[in-house]
């Protein structure tokens, strides 16, 4: 067990003020479903960390709302809150599926979307969905100084991200373009059906026009050090009719693009063929093509 | 279901409402917290332990090492080879080097960090076959080699048997380390007694009397000085036996040093690192059969990884030898099993106790033999399976009880619609590219209780109060399996009253005789019989007192039914309560000790022959599953389990045992493996050690078969372990049925299905990428 000092403030202003004064990195905690485990096992990731700042009491970070361009999600929203939210269900069903696949009910009641992003695990479940929806993050330094990152750019590698030591994640915003007609899918594989870290996931959404794919994004999870769109497969599919053989070919491209990047590892003989199949299953599901 | 048998668990109220205190919930005045420092190496000489700095920390009250153990340094159920505190050497990564007693667990952490241990790392052996090589160093000095045990079994002439065979098949199987994963981790509080050199130990202890022996031995005091009081238990599955003796000794040494109560509760990580696992086996089977499917000979060679200590390895491997050829008549048998010392985590008792490994192998093998002969596995099993009067591999004639193997198979086949499903799945699989469905069966026989392992006797106190309510206390312990309810039901039935009239007293070695360990699925059979005998003694005394009131001419005319005591001749009756009151004022002792000693058994260790157990149970399970061949994921859609329990005294409990055992068996076959790398366990918590969740299986259909056994209370016998031993082979056979190829290692994980083998991993939490 690693021991730490605990801080919590009533207002956002005080919270940012506190952050500003710190010489070293402070761990920001909201749900704690990842962080407490790291503290409990005195993880090397926590070297030089001796302070924890709890933001879970700040109501401003728990809001979900929309305007004409964006849906805004407070980082302290729990997975359960997202699953139950009408706006998210309407526009971003793949994010709902991703949240539903996390841990177990208790984890989902406690864990937050902001935590899932900032923890920046390669197997974070909400991240492929957020990347596929082109989500952006608002980072707050002062109450006025704000940096904005795309989620895919924010995460730099396993457990590494752009967050500065005097900064906190303030808001996740997702553009609403074409949301009405989009098709969505989130497909996940774990060793168990609950309480299981993702082995492979595939998240995608697409827009059809005259039976042809007008726009498509495909983002795999738990296979790359950082999250990204499968550009090659997306370009290949754009303008084509979503037929089984076309999707099969696109799935091969997904697997190829991923494993060209990561190279051969202990798990590659398994993960490569399975990623291909998972991508195929996800795409077929999205375009409502039956496979048995 | 028979409603009357759907009884409410007598310790259900306190457990459901949270009123039940587990050891971790208990507090004593001036209590300290203890924590263990474990070895840095899998094999090392301990040169020096310096803990002066730890003692300087505020709140640290004591540090102990092997030097502080006042009596013998070792414990052991079979041989005294296990050091609660490593003395000179650490033999595995979980070995305790020192322990601290402090005012809080936080201070314990700091104290442990302040202890400086100088080691000299020694060459370690993690592979059984490496350990058996002549040139390998001997891990345990008190043994002549790393082969700790060897049990042979010889029957007939295998060479001749193979000669007269039309088909000979040789197959090698491997099984894994498995963790018990009880919901409550190990916990103990040692409290110095008022009298000199006396200690009370509270704990999550499966076998209180066994633990008492170990504590008394190491504390250098007579048994009477140690009282073990069992707290409510959050499961054991065989895993809280000698491991808890080790912990109790550690806590007791700390309590002696500080002269204060000391509580030690293992974290999940400590629980997984410190305590024993299920033995991994390497099994080589050679089988010869004639064209018509009659088994001619079987040769079985098995190796069990005992890890750094002997623990229960002799008994575990002995059961494997007795049952290695399965419930089949084989004229010619040659079986050998070796228990091997390594520097891996040690292995010991775990529900099944040497049977899940062999049944996985032998039942998988039976299906493959049948396939080669062009028949269904069921047919092969029917030809060779035990029937009434069959003879076992150790030449024991199966008689005096109902040999119900065929009945179990028939019932499970009927319930699952096995043969029709096979046809259906053939059609489905031909069409399906991704999903393949399969169905598989396995069956077993199992010797009840300890058998020729050793003395098999146990006792119980039945104490009737003047108002007709009853106290019960038995020498065997409630570990979550429902013993209190079953024992209460047995007593209540003798008195013709409802089970709610019974209360079960706290388990305390000071109040009840040593009735052997709570193991081997022996509680209902042995302890239940003792309860019944005790209750009958009291019943007869009550009869004697009420004879006059009921105007009975013979005691045989008096019966106890529906809360009444009745003279069946003249129909005169009184309330049971009233009868107790009469007996009480009559000055009768309405408390009695029931004692039950098992019938004699025998085993010739030289040739492995003899009547190993006095009775047996039979069972058969079927797994019906879907394999996602694209991802390797297997889902058991339906599991069917038929078990002969003799008499389902506690029907609800019976179903519970079946559900739990079947799911634990699924975990064994599909998910669970303690990942030991160079002697260190990599998956030390339940996020990485995968036990099945409720979302990981479909329906379970229990089939309860009741052929009363003459030795059991009202005919009841064993169920706990038979339920876990069959599922892995049923699954393996179902996967073969689905995919048309066979696997020889468990667990059958995702990688096995997709790539044909398990892939070695060095995984970190949060990412398997």
Confidence of residue B765 (pLDDT cuts 50, 70, 90): very low
* List of chain B residues whose C-beta atoms are within 8 Å of the C-beta of residue A270: 632, 750-751, 754-755, 759
Contact (CB<8Å) A278/B630: yes
Contact (CB<8Å) B695/A267: no
Burial class (CB in 10 A: 0-12, 13-18, 19+), B724: buried
Three-state DSSP at B557 gives: helix
Size of interface A-B (CB pairs under 8 A): 97
* List of chain A residues whose C-beta atoms are within 8 Å of the C-beta of residue B694: 194
Across B223-250, b (16+ Cβ under 10 Å) vs e yields eebbbbbbbbbbbbbbbbbbbbbbbbbb
A155 lies in the same domain as A212: no
A42 lies in the same domain as A151: yes
Per-residue CA distances from B760 to A260, B630, B763 (Å): 22, 20, 9
Position A251 scores a pLDDT of 98
Position B764 scores a pLDDT of 46
Whether A70 contacts A176, CB under 8 Å: yes
Contact (CB<8Å) A267/B768: yes
pLDDT tens track for B473-485: 999 999 999 999 9
Distance of CA A237 to the CA centre of its chain: 24
What are the DSSP E strand ranges found in B534-692? 558-561, 564-567, 573-575, 591-597, 616-628, 633-644, 676-677, 680-681
Q: Considering A141, A175, A209, which residue would you say is the last residue of a domain?
A: A175
Q: How far is the C-alpha of A168 from the C-alpha of A146, rounded, in Å?
A: 10
B60-63 long-range contacts, CB within 8 A, separation 24+: B60/B100, B60/B101, B60/B102, B60/B107, B60/B111, B61/B32, B61/B101, B61/B102, B61/B103, B61/B258, B61/B260, B62/B32, B62/B100, B62/B101, B62/B254, B62/B257, B62/B258, B63/B98, B63/B99, B63/B100, B63/B101, B63/B111, B63/B115, B63/B257
For the residues of B421-449, what is the DSSP string, one character each?
Answer: HHHHHHHHHHH-SSEEEEEEEEEEEEE-S
pLDDT tens track for A240-282: 999 999 999 999 999 999 999 999 999 999 999 999 999 999 9
**CATH number for A111:** 3.30.465.10
For B767, the closest of A123, A189, A281 (CB atoms) is A123
Per-residue CA distances from B88 to A284, B41, B127 (Å): 63, 13, 23
Distance of CA B539 to the CA centre of its chain: 34
Question: CA B215, B221, B222, B223: dihedral to nearest 10 degrees?
Answer: -20
- Residue A292: inside a domain: no
- Residue A115: inside a domain: yes
Whether B497 contacts B563, CB under 8 Å: yes
Backbone angles phi, psi at B463, to 5 degrees: -120, 105
Q: Considering A126, A149, A175, which residue would you say is the last residue of a domain?
A: A175
Nearest CA in chain B to A38: B765
Position A142 scores a pLDDT of 85
Whether residue B1 has pLDDT greater than 90: no
Q: How far is the C-alpha of A66 from the C-alpha of A89, rounded, in Å?
A: 13
- Residue A257: inside a domain: yes
* List of chain A residues whose C-beta atoms are within 8 Å of the C-beta of residue B692: 192
**CATH number for A250:** 3.30.390.50
For A291, the closest of B434, B693, B759 (CB atoms) is B434
Nearest CA in chain B to A274: B631
Whether residue B553 has pLDDT greater than 50: yes
Which 217-276 residues of chain B touch chain A by CB within 8 A? 269
Query: Looking at residues A137-153, what average pLDDT do you find?
Result: 93
- Residue A161: inside a domain: yes
Confidence of residue A100 (pLDDT cuts 50, 70, 90): very high
Backbone angles phi, psi at B620, to 5 degrees: -150, 135
Q: In chain A, pLDDT over 70 holds for what percent of residues? A: 100
Q: What residues form DSSP beta bridges with A186? A: A203
Burial class (CB in 10 A: 0-12, 13-18, 19+), B669: buried
A167 lies in the same domain as A232: no
- Shortest distance between the Cα of B768 and any Cα of chain A, in A, equals 6
A250 lies in the same domain as A157: no
Contact (CB<8Å) A195/B768: no
- Shortest distance between the Cα of A108 and any Cα of chain B, in A, equals 15
A251 lies in the same domain as A271: yes
Which residues of chain A approach chain B closer than 8 Å at the C-beta?
A: 1, 3, 34, 37, 41, 104, 119, 121-123, 158-159, 189, 191-197, 199, 222-225, 262, 266-267, 269-270, 273-274, 277-278, 281, 291-292
Position B682 scores a pLDDT of 96
Whether A113 contacts A82, CB under 8 Å: yes
pLDDT tens track for B18-49: 999 999 999 999 999 999 999 999 999 999 99
Strands B633-644 and B697-705: parallel
Give Dmax over CA atoms of chain B in angstroms: 84
A81 lies in the same domain as A9: yes
A157 lies in the same domain as A208: no
Q: How far is the C-alpha of B287 from the C-alpha of B300, rounded, in Å?
A: 8
Confidence of residue B511 (pLDDT cuts 50, 70, 90): very high
Same fold, B281-450+605-755 and B457-597: yes
Nearest CA in chain B to A101: B695
- Residue A27: inside a domain: yes
Query: Looking at residues B382-411, what average pLDDT do you find?
Result: 98
CATH architecture of B12-122+201-258: Alpha-Beta Complex (3.90)
Q: Where are the domains of chain B?
A: 12-122+201-258, 281-450+605-755, 457-597
**CATH class of the B281-450+605-755 domain in this structure:** alpha beta
- Residue A131: inside a domain: yes
Whether B737 contacts B438, CB under 8 Å: yes
A188 lies in the same domain as A270: yes
Q: Considering A128, A159, A175, which residue would you say is the last residue of a domain?
A: A175
A23 lies in the same domain as A143: yes
For B766, the closest of A121, A191, A195 (CB atoms) is A121
A129 lies in the same domain as A13: yes
Contact (CB<8Å) B431/A222: no
Q: Which residue has the tokens 């995968």?
A: B690
Position B766 scores a pLDDT of 41
A162 is in which domain, residue-wise?
A: 5-175
From first CA to last CA, the distance across chain B in angstroms is 50
Contact (CB<8Å) A41/B750: no
Confidence of residue B2 (pLDDT cuts 50, 70, 90): low
Disruptive mutation site among B107, B692, B766 for chain A (greatest number of A CBs within 10 Å): B766
Contact (CB<8Å) B630/A267: no
Q: How far is the C-alpha of B175 from the C-alpha of B355, rounded, in Å?
A: 12
CATH T-level assignment (fold) for domain B457-597: Aldehyde Oxidoreductase; domain 4 (3.30.365)
- Residue A233: inside a domain: yes
Q: How many residues does chain B have?
A: 769
pLDDT tens track for B148-188: 999 999 999 999 999 999 999 999 999 999 999 999 999 99
- Shortest distance between the Cα of B655 and any Cα of chain A, in A, equals 24
Q: How far is the C-alpha of B509 from the C-alpha of B363, rounded, in Å?
A: 41
Q: How far is the C-alpha of B499 from the C-alpha of B453, rounded, in Å?
A: 34
- Shortest distance between the Cα of A200 and any Cα of chain B, in A, equals 9
- Residue A90: inside a domain: yes
Position B5 scores a pLDDT of 72
pLDDT tens track for B234-251: 999 999 999 999 999 999
For B769, the closest of A41, A223, A270 (CB atoms) is A223
Contact (CB<8Å) B693/A158: no
Contact (CB<8Å) B432/A292: yes
Backbone angles phi, psi at B547, to 5 degrees: -55, -45
Backbone angles phi, psi at A215, to 5 degrees: -150, 140
Whether B669 contacts B732, CB under 8 Å: yes
Indicate the number of domains in chain A.
Answer: 2
Q: Give the mean pLDDT of chain A.
A: 95
**ipTM > 0.85 for the complex:** yes
A170 lies in the same domain as A201: no
pLDDT tens track for B96-137: 999 999 999 999 999 999 999 999 999 999 999 999 999 999
pLDDT tens track for B587-600: 999 999 999 999 99
Whether residue B720 has pLDDT greater than 80: yes
Confidence of residue B762 (pLDDT cuts 50, 70, 90): low
Position A292 scores a pLDDT of 78
pLDDT tens track for B283-314: 999 999 999 999 999 999 999 999 999 999 99
* List of chain A residues whose C-beta atoms are within 8 Å of the C-beta of residue B633: 189
* List of chain B residues whose C-beta atoms are within 8 Å of the C-beta of residue A193: 693, 695-696
Position B646 scores a pLDDT of 97
Contact (CB<8Å) A34/B761: no
Q: How far is the C-alpha of B508 from the C-alpha of B517, rounded, in Å?
A: 14
Interface check B109 vs A, CB under 8 A: yes
Per-residue CA distances from B714 to B220, B528, B576 (Å): 43, 9, 21
Position B626 scores a pLDDT of 98
A216 lies in the same domain as A117: no
pLDDT tens track for A8-27: 999 999 999 999 999 999 99
Distance of CA B690 to the CA centre of its chain: 19
- Shortest distance between the Cα of B759 and any Cα of chain A, in A, equals 7
């Amino acid at each position: 067990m690693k021991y730490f000092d605990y801080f919590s403030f009533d207002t956002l202003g005080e919270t940012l003020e506190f952050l500003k004064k710190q010489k070293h990195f402070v761990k920001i905690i909201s749900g704690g479903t990842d962080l407490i485990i790291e503290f409990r096992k005195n993880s090397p990731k926590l070297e030089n960390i001796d302070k924890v700042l709890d933001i879970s009491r700040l109501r401003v970070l728990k809001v979900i709302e929309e305007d004409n361009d964006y849906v805004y999600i407070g980082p302290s929203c729990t997975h359960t809150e997202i699953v139950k939210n009408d706006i998210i269900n309407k526009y971003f069903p793949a994010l709902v599926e991703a949240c539903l696949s996390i841990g177990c009910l208790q984890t989902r009641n406690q864990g937050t979307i902001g935590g899932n992003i900032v923890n920046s695990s390669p197997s974070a479940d909400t991240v492929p969905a957020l990347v596929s929806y082109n989500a952006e993050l608002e980072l707050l330094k002062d109450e006025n100084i704000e940096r904005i990152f795309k989620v895919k750019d924010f995460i730099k590698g396993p457990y590494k991200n752009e967050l500065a030591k005097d900064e906190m994640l303030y808001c996740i915003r997702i553009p609403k373009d074409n949301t009405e007609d989009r098709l969505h899918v989130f497909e996940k594989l774990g060793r168990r059906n609950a309480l299981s870290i993702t082995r492979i996931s595939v998240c995608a959404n697409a827009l059809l026009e005259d039976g042809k794919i007008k726009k498509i994004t495909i983002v795999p999870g738990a296979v790359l050090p950082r999250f990204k769109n499968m550009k090659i497969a997306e370009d290949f599919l754009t303008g084509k009719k979503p037929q089984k053989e076309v999707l099969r070919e696109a799935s091969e491209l997904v697997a190829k693009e991923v494993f060209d990047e990561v190279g051969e590892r202990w798990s590659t003989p398994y993960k490569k063929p399975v990623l291909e199949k998972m991508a195929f299953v996800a795409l077929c599901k999205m375009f409502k093509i039956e496979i048995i | 279901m028979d409603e009357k048998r759907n009884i409410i668990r007598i310790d259900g109220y306190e457990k459901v409402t949270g009123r039940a205190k587990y050891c971790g919930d208990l507090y004593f005045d001036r209590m300290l917290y203890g924590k263990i420092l474990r070895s840095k190496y899998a094999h090392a000489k301990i040169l020096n332990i310096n803990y002066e700095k730890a003692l300087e920390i505020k709140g640290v009250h004591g540090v102990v090492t092997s030097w502080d153990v006042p009596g013998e340094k070792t414990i052991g159920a079979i041989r005294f080879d296990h050091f609660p505190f490593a003395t000179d050497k650490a033999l595995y990564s979980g070995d305790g080097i020192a322990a601290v007693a402090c005012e809080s667990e936080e201070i314990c952490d700091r104290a442990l960090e302040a202890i400086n241990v100088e080691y000299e790392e020694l060459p370690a052996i993690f592979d059984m076959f490496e350990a058996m090589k002549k040139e390998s160093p001997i891990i345990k000095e008190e043994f002549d080699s790393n082969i700790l045990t060897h049990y042979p079994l010889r029957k007939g002439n295998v060479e001749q048997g193979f000669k007269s065979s039309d088909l000979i098949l040789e197959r090698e199987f491997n099984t894994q380390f498995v963790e018990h994963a009880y919901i409550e981790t190990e916990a103990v509080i040692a409290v110095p007694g008022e009298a000199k050199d006396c200690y009370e130990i509270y704990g999550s202890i499966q076998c209180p009397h066994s633990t008492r022996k170990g504590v008394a031995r190491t504390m250098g005091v007579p048994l009477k000085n140690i009282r073990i009081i069992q707290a409510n238990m959050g499961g054991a599955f065989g895993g809280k036996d000698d491991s808890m003796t080790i912990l109790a000794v550690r806590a007791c040494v700390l309590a002696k040093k500080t002269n204060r109560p000391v509580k030690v509760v293992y974290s999940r990580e400590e629980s997984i690192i410190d305590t024993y696992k299920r033995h991994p086996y390497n099994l080589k089977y050679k089988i010869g059969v004639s064209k018509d499917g009659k088994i001619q000979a079987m040769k079985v060679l098995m190796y069990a990884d005992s890890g750094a200590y002997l623990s229960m390895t002799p008994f575990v491997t002995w059961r494997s030898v007795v049952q290695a050829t399965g419930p089949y008549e084989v004229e010619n048998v040659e079986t050998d099993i070796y228990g091997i010392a390594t520097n891996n985590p040690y292995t010991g008792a775990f529900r099944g106790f040497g049977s899940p490994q062999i049944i996985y192998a032998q039942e998988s093998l039976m299906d493959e033999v049948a396939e080669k002969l062009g028949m269904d596995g069921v047919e092969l099993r029917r030809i060779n399976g035990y029937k009434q009067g069959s003879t076992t591999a150790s030449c024991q004639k199966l008689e005096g009880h109902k040999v119900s193997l065929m009945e179990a198979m028939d019932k499970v086949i009927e319930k699952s619609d096995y043969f029709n499903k096979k046809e259906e799945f053939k059609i489905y699989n031909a069409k399906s590219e991704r999903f393949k469905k399969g169905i598989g069966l396995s069956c077993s026989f199992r010797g009840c209780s300890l058998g020729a392992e050793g003395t098999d006797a146990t006792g119980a106190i039945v104490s009737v109060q003047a108002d007709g309510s009853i106290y019960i206390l038995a020498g065997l312990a409630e570990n979550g399996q429902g013993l209190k309810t079953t024992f209460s039901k047995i007593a209540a039935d003798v008195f013709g009253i409802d089970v709610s009239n019974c209360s079960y007293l706290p388990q305390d070695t000071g109040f009840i005789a040593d009735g052997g360990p709570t193991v081997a699925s022996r509680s209902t059979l042995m302890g239940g019989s003792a309860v019944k005998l005790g209750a009958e003694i009291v019943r007869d005394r009550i009869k004697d007192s009420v004879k006059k009131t009921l105007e009975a001419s013979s005691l045989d005319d008096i019966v106890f039914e529906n809360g009444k005591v009745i003279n069946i001749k003249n129909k005169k009756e009184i309330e049971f309560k009233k009868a107790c009151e009469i007996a009480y004022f009559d000055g009768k002792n309405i408390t009695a000790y029931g004692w039950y000693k098992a019938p004699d058994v025998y085993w010739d260790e030289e040739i492995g022959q003899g009547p190993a157990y006095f009775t047996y149970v039979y069972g058969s399970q079927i797994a019906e599953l879907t394999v996602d061949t694209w991802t390797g994921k297997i889902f058991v859609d339906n599991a069917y389990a038929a078990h002969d329990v003799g008499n389902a005294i506690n029907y609800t409990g019976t179903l519970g045992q079946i559900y739990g055992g079947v799911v634990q068996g699924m975990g064994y076959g599909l998910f669970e493996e303690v990942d030991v790398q160079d002697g260190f366990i990599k998956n030390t918590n339940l996020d990485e050690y995968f036990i099945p969740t409720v979302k990981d299986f479909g329906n379970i259909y229990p089939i309860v078969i009741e052929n009363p056994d003459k030795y059991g209370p009202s005919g009841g016998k064993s169920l706990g372990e038979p339920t876990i031993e069959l599922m892995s082979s049923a699954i393996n056979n179902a996967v073969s049925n689905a995919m048309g190829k066979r696997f020889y290692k468990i667990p059958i994980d995702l990688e096995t299905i997709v790539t044909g083998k398990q892939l070695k991993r060095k995984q970190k939490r949060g990412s398997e990428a």
